[in-house]
């Protein structure tokens, strides 16, 4: 599945299944997008811990969902832009 358009020579955004070698990239995307998420700020007031703990959390979450083939990735120009992660009913570890 592919969506988007090639503007200014850019490749269109494609939606693909996340590959295991993209796990580090998805961890960084999620950690960066949630760096100032209020619950993380409340639970982890120390900025150094808040920079580390969500990376571990998101890595575990994505790895669990990958076992079910339930992680889609948005990529363009071989760069991970985002991901959608699902666990089927009853699959929460």
Please give the Cα distance from 2 to 12 (Å, whole number). Answer: 7
Taking residues 85-91, what's their average pLDDT?
A: 87
**Tens-digit pLDDT profile for residues 7-51:** 556 789 999 999 999 999 999 999 888 878 898 899 999 988 888
pLDDT for res 3:
52
Q: Within 10 Å of residue 83's Cβ, how many Cβ atoms?
A: 21
Please give the Cα distance from 90 to 77 (Å, whole number). Answer: 36
Please give the Cα distance from 54 to 49 (Å, whole number). Answer: 9
Tokens for 4? 């988007």
């Amino acid at each position: 599945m592919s969506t988007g358009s090639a503007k200014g020579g850019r490749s269109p955004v494609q939606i693909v299944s996340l590959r295991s070698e993209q796990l580090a990239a998805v961890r960084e995307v999620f950690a960066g997008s949630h760096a100032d998420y209020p619950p993380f700020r409340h639970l982890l007031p120390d900025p150094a811990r808040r920079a580390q703990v969500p990376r571990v959390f998101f890595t575990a979450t994505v790895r669990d969902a990958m076992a079910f083939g339930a992680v889609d990735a948005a990529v363009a120009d071989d760069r991970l832009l985002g991901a959608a992660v699902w666990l089927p009913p009853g699959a929460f570890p």
